[in-house]
């Protein structure tokens, strides 16, 4: 991953993304990187994320609170992520566990709108447990 122009800013973003260990929005990434790069602009964060997506270093991980979230991922080959809709925790699912769902949809006469289904919205055990305790 070549930082390119604005090397200090891009490295601050990369360090922040790696340290979060969860799915994050560009705004969250920007906020986390501002300690190391106080003059970092939000536009630079958005451009960096787009570049990382194009280069395959970051993947879409759905939405949280109406905002797109991403995960840094260097996994090779076909895979999916499970992403907690509350806290952003992620887990890598290697291979394709979704082929049976695709086939079932085709058999029923449907085509899945998101054929890639790169990330699956879920709730991690910690967040699910917190919901049960508060009920």
Q: 121-130 pLDDT, tens per residue?
A: 888 999 988 7
Task: Let me know if domain 7-134 sits in CATH 1.20.1260.10.
Answer: no
More confident residue, 135 or 65: 65
Instruction: Determine contact, residues 49/29, Cβ cutoff 8 Å.
Output: yes
More confident residue, 103 or 29: 29
Q: What share of the chain is helix, strand, coil (3-state, %, to 5)?
A: 40, 20, 40
What are the angstrom distances between the C-alpha of 83 and each of 21, 42, 93, 98, 126? 12, 24, 11, 15, 13
Residue 2 has pLDDT above 60, yes or no: no
At residue 115 the predicted structure's pLDDT band, cuts being 50, 70 and 90, is: low
At residue 114 the predicted structure's pLDDT band, cuts being 50, 70 and 90, is: low
Q: Residue holding tokens 């993304």?
A: 17
At residue 132 the predicted structure's pLDDT band, cuts being 50, 70 and 90, is: low
Dump pLDDT digits (tens) for 43-102.
999 999 999 999 989 988 888 888 999 999 877 777 778 888 888 888 888 777 677 888
Structure tokens at 99: 């082929």
Instruction: Determine contact, residues 87/124, Cβ cutoff 8 Å.
Output: yes
pLDDT at 29: 97
CB contact set of 85 (below 8 Å; sequence gap of 6+): 62, 64, 121, 122, 123
């Amino acid at each position: 991953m070549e930082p390119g122009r604005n090397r200090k800013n891009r490295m601050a973003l990369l360090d922040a993304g790696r340290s979060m260990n969860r799915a994050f929005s560009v705004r969250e990434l920007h906020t986390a990187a501002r300690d190391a790069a106080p003059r970092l602009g939000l536009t630079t964060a958005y451009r960096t994320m787009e570049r990382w997506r194009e280069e395959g270093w970051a993947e879409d991980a759905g939405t949280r609170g109406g905002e797109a979230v991403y995960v840094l991922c260097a996994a090779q080959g076909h895979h999916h992520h499970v992403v907690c809709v509350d806290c952003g925790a992620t887990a890598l699912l290697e291979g394709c566990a979704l082929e049976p769902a695709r086939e079932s949809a085709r058999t029923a006469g449907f085509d899945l709108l998101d054929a890639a289904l790169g990330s699956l919205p879920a709730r991690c055990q910690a967040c699910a447990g917190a919901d049960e305790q508060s009920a």
